[in-house]
A and B are shown apart, each in its own frame.
Chain A
């Protein structure tokens, strides 16, 4: 066991050192760097429009389609499907409710239209902000 404690005088050490290290093929380090760059780029597929957003869009389209079928008449002389439905009369409940003086707000069509537009813009802004944060 003392052979490997000979230090520089060890003939086997001299021979092994003399033979030196062996070289890999040229471009060895570039292969590794290329592998690393492809690994960094290989992210799982994520659609631009998420499945949740697609569901909302689909729901809006279906709602629009149904509303057109139900509320829009086929021609000017016809009634819409909604208007063709028989009139239901709900039973009036005669409950002894005290007559409270609740104030009523008279909302005009311009105000209602503004509220609708504001809600639509707020919804769009919220949706876009959520998507922006997710990709940051």
Chain B
């Protein structure tokens, strides 16, 4: 798959947390992706950007928390996480960046 700008827009950032790093043991990586990204798009982008084979993509829409500031209700932005399961033997080093 040829690399294109679209791919860069699909993967926003690695999701580096305790849980995210733990998942690397089962060959999974978490990325933050746009709310509009679909599983096939994410798969395509990861495969193009990191040159790896993706086995499966799971996505979660995380609802932003409602916050009060001086009694006024506000809401944090929603976002989408994508949990990528890599094919056996593939790895992504999330710390090096693109």
Do these two chains interact?
A: no
Where the two chains meet, the residues of B that have a C-beta atom closer than 8 Å to any C-beta of A are none
Where the two chains meet, the residues of A that have a C-beta atom closer than 8 Å to any C-beta of B are none
